[in-house]
Amino acid sequence: MESADAAAWRGKKEIGGRILDREEQTFGSQLNILFQKAEKNKNVLEMREIREAFQDVSLTPVQLERIVSMLEARNIDVLTVSDSMDEDLSDPEEEMESALNLMDSENVSMEDPVRMYLKEIGKIPLLKPEEEIELAKRMEQGDESAKRRLSEANLRLTVSIAKRYAGRGMQFLDLIQEGNLGLIKAVDKFDYRKGYKFSTYATWWIRQSITRAIADQARTIRIPVHMVETINRVNRARRALLQEKGREPTPEEVAHRMEMPVERILEISKISQEPVSLETPIGEEEDSHLGDFIQDEHIPIPSEEAAHSLLREQLCEVMDTLSEREQKVLSLRFGLLDGKPHTLEEVGKDFQVTRERIRQIEAKALRKLRHPTRSRKLRDFLDM
């Protein structure tokens, strides 16, 4: 009969001198399956596919984030696609009108070619779902005109999404350009067999392209793309809690909503902070700068530095009235030389005498310093 220990070892495997349990083996094998699946699917995976692969393992949000990071390290894109994405998008005609108004706010002239571009793409007719499927089938046969038609019919979708990222450090026109790069990627990787409308699928790619551009270009300090997306999720959770509670949520409340450790939420909040230039104008007339009001803690206050300098001078004068041995004993005992006080035993070893002898020398020197002729020179510094 097989022993209990043998049964326990039977399901284990040794890698690099370390024994892996069943859960770790499952984790590794499922990760390899995902790598293979992504390779067959143009290096694209959906978040639901990751969750399904690890449905037998209770993944925490932090573990899921690490899995996504490992996949992205292999240039595998992880999509979070849902039909609710389309609900966020307004009527295309309204979006184009809103985009034109945004162009006005950025002082783009009426004759600007980009303004003409916005009006031109507004004339391109939208596609019906069955037309998208037909174009996708033609694309599989290598029909470049079908690819171009699908791209052009969704250019206004890019404008609609780019408008939502205005004011985050990039010009509106640059956002449109980056979004169009994402649209081209979506056209290349679209799989109509999964049942999504193309606009639903393309929305994720356009958003990804724009957020990556913002991460690379708009921030003074670059943040990894997966971290930008994590920051956005935390911010959405924080805004939702703000609406529910009518106040700023605590880190603990955000952590509970996100199912993350509080320490992780604090770390994400710290990473998401934007640096502020010391040259930022301050005041109504903007004649001062932020740096003028920030104290440099490494530079001493002039009045204190002057007082300390006078104290050193007076202390040196008073110490000069003592014998050389007394000066050295007090300097070592109170750290006047190197800022580090020494024990009686340490000073005794230095002088090759007992600690009791050092105590006697110290007591005698202090009595001399307490004499009015000497102490009155230092008494004024006691209130510093």
- Domain range for 315 is 306-379
How confident is the model over 299-313, as pLDDT tens digits?
777 777 777 778 778
pLDDT of residue 252: 93
How confident is the model over 90-112, as pLDDT tens digits?
555 555 555 555 555 555 444 46
DSSP output for 126-193: PPPHHHHHHHHHHHHTT-HHHHHHHHHTTHHHHHHHHGGGTTSSS-HHHHHHHHHHHHHHHHHH--GG
322 and 204 housed in the same domain: no
- What is the spatial distance between Cα 27 and Cα 290, in angstroms, rounded to a whole number? 51
The residues with which 18 forms a beta bridge, in sequence order, are 15
Can you say whether the dihedral through the CA atoms of 161, 162, 166, 169 is positive or negative?
positive
108 and 161 housed in the same domain: yes
pLDDT of residue 93: 52
What length is written for the chain?
A: 384
- In a domain? residue 310: yes
49 and 133 housed in the same domain: no
pLDDT of residue 43: 79
Verdict on whether the full-model pTM lies above 0.95: no
93 and 218 housed in the same domain: yes
Q: How much helix, strand and coil, in percent to the nearest 5, is found in the chain?
A: 65, 5, 30
91 and 193 housed in the same domain: yes
194 and 241 housed in the same domain: no
Residue-by-residue pLDDT tens, the chain, 384 positions: 444 443 443 444 444 444 345 555 667 777 788 888 877 777 788 777 888 887 777 777 777 777 877 887 777 877 776 555 554 555 555 555 555 555 555 554 444 677 777 878 888 888 888 888 899 899 888 889 999 999 999 998 998 898 888 877 788 888 999 999 999 999 988 888 888 788 888 998 998 889 888 877 767 777 776 677 788 888 888 998 999 989 999 999 999 888 888 998 999 888 888 787 788 888 777 678 777 777 777 777 777 777 777 877 877 887 888 888 888 888 888 888 777 888 988 888 888 899 899 899 889 888 888 877 777 777 766 655
- In a domain? residue 57: yes
- In a domain? residue 36: yes
pLDDT of residue 81: 65
pLDDT of residue 23: 56
138 and 218 housed in the same domain: yes
pLDDT of residue 20: 42
- What is the spatial distance between Cα 6 and Cα 8, in angstroms, rounded to a whole number? 5
- 208, 76 contact by CB (below 8 A): no
- In a domain? residue 2: no
pLDDT of residue 108: 47
And the tokens for 212?
């990556």
Q: What are phi and psi of 171, to 5 degrees?
A: -65, 150
SS3 332: helix
pLDDT of residue 181: 94
Q: What are phi and psi of 215, to 5 degrees?
A: -65, -40
- In a domain? residue 353: yes
Q: Specify the number of domains making up the chain.
A: 4
- In a domain? residue 210: yes
